[in-house]
Amino acid sequence: MVGHCTLGRMNDWPQGWSGNNGGDRQGSGSASAQPEGARVMRQVQRGQGGAPRSSAPPHGVPPQQSYTDGHGDNGYDGYNTGQVYGGGGGPQGPGPDGRPGRPAPNWRKRIKWISITVVTLLVVVSVGTYFWADSKLNRDVDLSKVIDRPDAGEGTNYLIVGSDSREGMSAEEKKKLHTGSADGKRTDSMMILHVGDNGNTMISLPRDSNVTIPTFVGSESGKTFQGTGRQVKLNAAYAEDGPELLVRTVESNTGLRIDHYAEIGFAGFAKIVDSVGGVEIEIPKGGMKDTKSGADFEAGKQTLNGEQSLAFVRTRYALAGSDLDRTKNQQKFLSALANQTATPSTVLNPFKLYPTLSSGLDTLTVDKDMSLWDLGSMFLAMKGVTSGDGKSMNMPISGNTGNGNLQWDTAKVKQLVEQLKNDEKVTVTSDR
């Protein structure tokens, strides 16, 4: 009775859910019984020669979606479409796993922020460089100590001086650069640079120019020294009382007001040349040899290092025109140096730009009112003039004085100064 009841309950199970997987097979321990996975997934197996067997789930199990051989909306045809989980795609459609794709990048927004970042970085670097360079300027010249000054004219006038200062140089460096060991400082080159709206002009002042020392106030003592009409070479004014007396003497003998002063010594000059990798210069036919300056060059184009460059601009005894020819060589070299320094390979390369600025600014002496902007304007004007965009000349010379100094051509100098004061195009020429 009990067995009958039990068998009755088992027969109440839906077809296909008995231990008999074969339908008409008996028992659940048959060796031919199919694996559990096959029994559970029977509904997804295709029948051979007919439709798959329909089975109902056991009690308490939610009905499963059926898969048929048909092509209904939810049909399964035996091939994976890659969208097992479904789901709508994003703007770019679904990804490989069927999930929504990432939205397309907003390149306009990215470019905007990249541009802002780059501009900000450039501003920060530029401002930092400006204040760094400005702090390195030696503003030791006080032009307020210069008395009886001419009226200011149009444009800006710079007095640019190359001194033979040996300050900070070791005995070995002095020997290497052939500077000697003379005490004090003297000017080795002097130039007036006029920057204006009608063309820039650079005028070399030969160191042997004959000038009159005027009444002046000592830069250190503050004592007034009355002028006596004493005539000396121009570089003697600098040797006597430094930059302030040199400016006073130039202004007194020309009538032209000097707005700014800039000076660089031997060591600084050589360092600038070395920092830019040397300067290419054309040595004239016959070459150049001067034991006093150390110059020993064959004719032709060649690249000079700092030591050689200093010898080139200082040489005068090997030149037919002595100091006058030397001033021409100095202008020629400044042109080459300015063009070499202002190239993109120097300006845009921080590993070259900063050493160049540092070597130049460390040994550069300017007046107290000289800003870095004024210095930049002076440099660009020099570059332009020496490259042909402007006029370069010697101070007009009429001959020699009885003491052997070079005498300025008074009439031409007066006309030249008037043209500079009025910022007119310079028409005056020098014969030497």
Q: Got the DSSP string for 210-226?
A: EEE---EE-TTT--EE-
> Phi, psi (5° rounding) for residue 219?
-65, -30
User: In the chain, pLDDT over 70 holds for what percent of residues?
Assistant: 67
What CATH number does the domain located at 266-362 have?
A: 3.40.630.190
Beta strands in 120-244 (DSSP E): 138-141, 156-163, 187-195, 201-204, 210-212, 216-217, 224-225, 231-233
Residue with the larger pLDDT of the pair 409 and 89: 409
Residue limits of CATH 3.30.420.590 in the chain: 139-263
pTM, two decimals, is 0.67
29-43, 127-141, 246-260: least confidently modelled range: 29-43
Residue 246 is predicted with a pLDDT of 96
Q: What is the pLDDT of residues 253-277, one digit of tens each?
A: 999 999 999 998 777 778 888 888 8
The pLDDT of residue 79: 47
Q: What single letter denotes the amino acid at residue 412?
A: K
For residue 194, give both structure tokens. 């006029």
182 or 414: whose pLDDT is higher? Answer: 414
The larger pLDDT score, comparing residue 84 to residue 299, is at 299
What integer pLDDT is reported at residue 167 of this predicted model?
57
- Delimit the CATH 3.40.630.190 region(s) of the chain: 266-362
pLDDT for the residue numbered 30:
44
State which amino acid sits at residue 151.
D
Using pLDDT thresholds of 50, 70 and 90, give the confidence band for residue 51. Answer: very low
The average pLDDT across 388-412 equals 90
Pairing of strands 391-394, 397-400: unpaired
CA distance 160 to 41: 99
Interval 188-209: pLDDT, tens:
789 999 999 988 999 999 989 9
Q: How far is CA 70 from the centre of its chain?
A: 74
Query: Who wins on pLDDT, 412 or 357?
Result: 412
Instruction: Please give the share of the chain, as a percent, with pLDDT higher than 90.
Output: 30
Q: Which residue has the higher pLDDT, 337 or 42?
A: 337
Residues 325-365 have pLDDT tens digits of 888 888 888 878 877 777 766 666 666 776 777 767 777 89
Architecture of domain 139-263: 2-Layer Sandwich (3.30)
**Higher per-residue confidence, 233 vs 174:** 233
